[in-house]
Structure 1
């Protein structure tokens, strides 16, 4: 009955779906907690799934290009509220697609189909605010990206900022929900968003620490992008994005370090754990990071460290997933029919474009 109701809701015109979302009072929680409803968007830590569409499971032969064990829908239901993805042009179809570095390496489908997946979840969860961060590997124009949003039926709930640079005070989650603008969209990079002002150039609003970490002692809170001026970025009102994922060096490539993953994503204990790193960045920034981006979000679990930053002790409405590291990894990818030579070549290509 619930599934049929949701299907019927998806068939409604966008304006009616928006009205339904605005008037739904089935939950007093915002992003899984009533304590967050009156908090400003930039005064909350949002857990992010690094390379959200790129899954390492049986469907991809446990591809080492996968950064998550569960798909985007599962991520959102478990508490993830920032989704990052790489956008490439599929050389075969010419379509904008979510592909890991190259569509011949790991192709998760068209951009519009992935956005439709996000939209389906948002319609079913009207009290949730979600952020998308697109890495524009295709160098697509705002017009081209907006066409995908419109085709996915999701552009009507996108938030449009009041300023074209860092904002000192963002709306509260409740404001975003009430206004029907529950999807915030950043693109790295998009210097001209004419015609699609809801697509925000990431580095006008956000700064990041380094993502190239190969040892637990490498994690640093110092700004790395768009430049290394941490105090200047904070003074300008930019939101901190804390990259916290670890790579392991092999002979010709780097790949996600799953051996140390349980510590990397842990809320405490062990060198380079997420909880301690977040505490350190909070101290250095004088505020909590707005975003924390991790690989394999379920391990740790990473959400525990984010809940502590947000002061959330009794989250509601989440669907629990296993916190274990998947048992199949590189051996699964090779047994799926990828020859060793091609496997090594793919890994090398993957390493070249591993940035978010």
Structure 2
């Protein structure tokens, strides 16, 4: 009981402790504060561009690599007191502006509604799901040539059913955009249309949710593990990334590994984010995991082992992707999830996998952003009601401010642990 109580205190205190280093965030490098938006070339202006590149229009949805923001609703910025639980430096609609086309988030029941909460609503509460979805709807309306994917994790404990989610999606006005795949192919494989076709029919939103059953009333709410498999997510070392099938573990098609799953028409999701840990079982402490931001520029780097012999050892995104393509017999990841997407830049790896030319320094093809003004200026503002753009406060390209902040986090956690142990 004592260990459980301390574990809860640690989780609740982690966010508050990060305020110790708020001053460091104010001195963030301006190099990270400005992420150029995608610039539209003359060629693109004369032809349709789908998810940032004309070349992607004729490809089927499952033949495109969609770069995504892991825990996209949970931001590490001034609005959350630079919460250690935050996985991104920018809000979800800004991620869409910058070129990402996959947004993942975790939800929990709260009262009669569905709340965006990271691990628990006491740790980091990003508000009602419906409000977040309303911003995404506004963004979709302002970007008619973009196909967006949502992945919602049904939080631990009480699971919500498709009806509960469906009511929220309908209230947000997103149901009409929801795409429903058909199972008309050999062996019951999902049949995915081209991006151009999805755009033409205005069914431009693909929605996966964990731990729900398929619903006749809300057929666009897709049970994730009926369609998608994932690589391991609880990675704590740069050498820990791999391409094995981690989830689901009970599906009949999952038993033979990722190659068989891809052959069965399942979509692949490559998790590429790393955690730091606090605690390890001593003195009744559980292990608390929080996003590793101190070396995220290396983690999200597009470098591959062919370009840099140390890339695999550093756990770069480029090396991880190349490994999976090789182990999956040429099957590239359909989805990629990263923390702090603005670092790396992560989108460069999606561009490489998609075989498209990057149209900005923040990436393009894996889902290009909106047009920007003059070089070096800020991207066009999002039409969604997202907050003003915060400075990027990560490590890597952010210089010393990122590491100073993370050092402050570590110091605060140590002080809290020692104090808590003394109180026991």
| TM-score bracket relative to the smaller structure | 0.7 to 0.9
- C-alpha distance in 1, partners of 2:106/2:53? 30
Partner of residue 174, structure 1: 196
Distance 1:134 1:29, change over 3 A: same
Residue-by-residue CA offset, 1:82-108 (whole Å, 9 max, x unaligned): 111111012xx4321111121111111
The aligned length equals 318
Partner of residue 225, structure 2: 203
Partner of residue 102, structure 1: 120
Partner of residue 352, structure 2: 308
- C-alpha distance in 1, partners of 2:202/2:60? 16
| 1:146 pairs with 2:190 | no
Q: How does 1:76-155 map to 2 (within 5 A)?
A: 76-90=96-110, 93-137=111-155, 138-155=158-175
- C-alpha distance in 2, partners of 1:71/1:210? 25
Distance 1:38 1:322, change over 3 A: farther
Question: Partner of 1:282: helix, strand, or coil?
Answer: helix
| Root-mean-square deviation (Å) | 2.9
Q: Is the 8 A contact 2:268 2:334 kept in 1?
A: yes
Q: Is the 8 A contact 2:182 2:190 kept in 1?
A: no
Q: CA deviation at 1:338?
A: 11
| 1:260 pairs with 2:290 | no
- C-alpha distance in 1, partners of 2:74/2:415? 21
Q: Is the 8 A contact 1:300 1:323 kept in 2?
A: no
- C-alpha distance in 2, partners of 1:249/1:338? 11
User: Bigger CA drift: 242-251 or 156-165?
Assistant: 156-165
Partner of residue 277, structure 1: 320
Partner of residue 9, structure 1: none
Within the candidate set 234, 247, 264, 1:225 is matched to: 247
Q: CA deviation at 1:202?
A: 0.5
- C-alpha distance in 2, partners of 1:78/1:102? 28
Distance 1:333 1:108, change over 3 A: farther
Structure possessing the higher radius of gyration over alpha carbons: 2
Q: Is the 8 A contact 2:68 2:337 kept in 1?
A: yes
Question: Partner of 2:207: helix, strand, or coil?
Answer: strand
Q: How does 1:295-334 map to 2 (within 5 A)?
A: 295-315=339-359, 318=369, 325=395, 327=401, 329=405
- C-alpha distance in 2, partners of 1:86/1:65? 12
Q: CA deviation at 1:235?
A: 2.1
Q: CA deviation at 1:148?
A: 0.4
